[in-house]
Amino acid sequence: MDKISSHSLHYPLFDIYWDYAKTIVGLTIGVGGLVYGLVNLISILFFGSVVAIFCFFGFQSYKRHKSLVKVDKEGVRFKSWSQQEISWKSIKNIELRYFGRPAKEKDDNQKPKGILHLVIKNDDQKITVDSSLYGFRYLVWCAILAVKEYKAPLDPGTVGNMLDIGLDPEGDSEMPDPLIPGFNL
């Protein structure tokens, strides 16, 4: 674990501000429909659900805005609404999962788009971050080193996803730059 240096990782502010803008537009449409729309049950349910969905989306955007991931030789700490801390020694499992989005046009050369979620678990808690986090590859690399040193299991899906982002699950990869922006596949 001597290769791991201390870094603070966060989500890109441009994406978060863009999500805030989408939230404002969605809430404007929903509230506008409730105030100026037809007064019937279907209209109220529809525009009420639009307001509820965009409120949830706005809270999620705010949570990402306040999120901070700190990585050091001892472990990983995630701070948002609350603080979670997992030491590298206590890791029981990590999962790297791909969640795809459908392509707009069918093209053989077009890669499917999606996002990766890294889940780090111990007996008491779990930390989940997605691949738009600045330094995401660095965090996965640190988790690989911890898994190798403390002999936690890796499932085949996680191994395949690690290879897809250019990291060796055996821990033989070069250290990624922790300041590289996150990515979406």
Q: pLDDT band for position 18 (50/70/90)?
A: very high
| CA angle in degrees (0–180, nearest 5) for 150-184-49 | 105
Distances (CA, A) of 147 to 61, 68, 111, 133: 31, 22, 30, 21
Mutual angle of helices 41-66 and 13-36, in 10-degree steps: 160
* Of 128, 136, 120, nearest in space to 183 by CA: 136
Q: pLDDT band for position 29 (50/70/90)?
A: very high
Q: Where are the domains positioned within the chain?
A: 7-11+70-164, 13-65
Ranking 54-63, 111-120, 144-153 by mean pLDDT, the lowest is 111-120
Helix (H) or strand (E) holding 40: none
pLDDT at 108: 57
Q: What is the pLDDT of residues 148-181, one digit of tens each?
A: 888 888 889 999 999 988 898 888 888 888 888 7
Q: What is the pLDDT of residues 114-145, one digit of tens each?
A: 889 999 999 899 999 999 899 999 999 999 99
Enter the pTM of the model: 0.83
* % the chain with pLDDT above 70: 91
Is the model's pLDDT at 15 over the cut of 90?
A: no
Query: d(Cα 117, Cα 160) in Å, to the nearest integer?
Result: 14
Is the model's pLDDT at 111 over the cut of 80?
A: no
Query: d(Cα 41, Cα 30) in Å, to the nearest integer?
Result: 15
Residues 6 or more apart from 29 whose CB is under 8 A from it?
47, 50
Is the model's pLDDT at 185 over the cut of 70?
A: no
Where helices occur in 37-170 by DSSP H, the ranges are 41-66, 136-150, 156-164
User: Is residue 71 within 8 Å of 142, Cβ to Cβ?
Assistant: yes
Beta strand extents in the chain (DSSP E only): 7-9, 68-71, 75-79, 83-87, 93-101, 113-121, 126-130
Q: pLDDT band for position 103 (50/70/90)?
A: low
User: Is residue 92 within 8 Å of 146, Cβ to Cβ?
Assistant: no
Q: Is 144 exposed, middle or buried (0-12, 13-18, 19+ CB in 10 A)?
A: buried
- Mean pLDDT (the chain, rounded): 88
